[in-house]
């Protein structure tokens, strides 16, 4: 029996193992399903809330340590960043459109989906952008595989 995906609205055939499937198999829709699940779990399960907060704090701590160690181990990168910051401070005549991501000023950024998906409620993420040396092997384990939905964490 054909259904319509809760996320993208397109028709799909539920798999026989999951007759109650409400999201199609597109990666975006599966991510939406995961977020919805996390949100519901967050509201209904105090243990899950506590675990998620603890996991997030532990991750933030690891991340902070990582960047501190990273910068200490690479004074030349920190020096370069400071020089870039100084040259940016001198004037606003930076053509942002021509900027490579690697030339973005270090700092916190809010990432919002554009164009906004009509079925998402304007979710956005705050991320820190810091230049890295791509060849550095230790940067591989910094990012989390699993997504924590921060909008669900704020009550």
| Residue placing its CB nearer to Zn ion in the complex, 94 or 147 | 147
The one segment of 19-27, 95-103, 104-112, 117-125 that binds Zn ion by CB under 5 A:
19-27
Which is nearest to 147 in space by CA: 33, 67, 22? 33
| Residue placing its CB nearer to Zn ion in the complex, 8 or 153 | 8
Q: DSSP 3-state assignment of 39?
A: helix
Q: How far is the CB of 1 from Zn ion (least distance, A)?
A: 16
One of 3, 8, 124, 142 touching Zn ion (CB under 5 A): 8
List the structure tokens of 155: 């009550």
Which is nearest to 8 in space by CA: 147, 118, 121, 123? 118
List the structure tokens of 40: 């519901």
Decide if 8 contacts 29 (C-beta within 8 A): yes
One of 3, 11, 18, 24 touching Zn ion (CB under 5 A): 24
Binding site for Zn ion (CB under 5 A): 5, 7-8, 24, 26, 29
């Amino acid at each position: 029996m054909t259904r319509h995906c809760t996320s993208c609205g397109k028709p799909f055939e539920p798999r026989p193992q999951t007759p109650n499937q409400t999201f199609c198999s597109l990666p975006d829709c599966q991510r939406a399903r995961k977020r919805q699940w996390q949100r519901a779990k967050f509201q209904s399960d105090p243990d899950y809330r506590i675990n998620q907060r603890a996991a997030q704090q532990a991750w933030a701590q690891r991340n902070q340590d990582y960047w501190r160690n990273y910068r200490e181990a690479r004074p030349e990168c920190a020096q370069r960043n400071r020089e870039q910051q100084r040259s940016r401070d001198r004037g606003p005549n930076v053509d942002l459109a021509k900027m490579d991501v690697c030339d973005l000023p270090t700092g916190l950024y809010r990432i919002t989906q554009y164009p906004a998906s009509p079925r998402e409620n304007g979710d956005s993420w705050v991320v820190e952008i810091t230049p890295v040396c791509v060849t550095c092997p230790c940067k591989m384990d910094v990012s989390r595989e699993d997504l924590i939905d921060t909008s669900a964490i704020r009550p």
